[in-house]
Amino acid sequence: MAAMPASGASAAVSFSSVEIGSSVDANNKILASGASFAPKDSVYASVETMGTGHATLAAKWTYQDGQTVHEDSKALDTMGPQTTAFMISKPGGFPAGDYKVEISLDGKPVASKDFSVKKEAASGVALKPEGTRSPRPFCLCGPSRRRAGSTA
């Protein structure tokens, strides 16, 4: 029977860090981190783990009153550092308030992050819906359009 290395226990999958934001890259790392989101934003939790082996990583998203918004778990089969992303979104928009994501590894809590959802356009500035144009279209009219030799 082969001898196990003395550091065998530390080679198991372990939690490294968690970050939250509104988008992730192809490697599941947060591109735009933050702790405050608009009601219709997607919110991501990017969880970094180390070590090798099999484990279950879970995320539980809760609203300020403790109500569960969403729960998700992912089976890990890693051969080293890995980043796993969890995401929540609500097309109709999340209610404004305080939220939390709790991360657990193999059923044991390892981290939590608080964040908030703020009401949109509280500054009083009217926001144009996406895809709308300015009321003044671009125009090539006026004296600069007339050139020598034109018979307008």
Q: What tens digit of pLDDT does each residue of 99-145 get?
A: 999 999 999 999 999 999 998 754 433 343 444 444 444 334 444 44
Chain segment 13-56, per-residue pLDDT in tens = 999 999 999 999 999 999 989 999 999 999 999 999 999 999 99
Domain that holds residue 42: 14-117
Residue 56: which CATH number? 2.60.40.10
Give one word for 10, left, alpha or beta, with left for phi > 0 and alpha for psi -120 to 50: alpha
Specify if 6 maps to a domain: no
8 pLDDT exceeds 80? no
Output DSSP code: residue 22: S
Structurally, the chain folds into a number of domains equal to: 1
**Residue 49, CA atoms < 13 Å, CB-side half-sphere:** 29
State the average pLDDT over residues 74-81.
95
Specify if 85 maps to a domain: yes
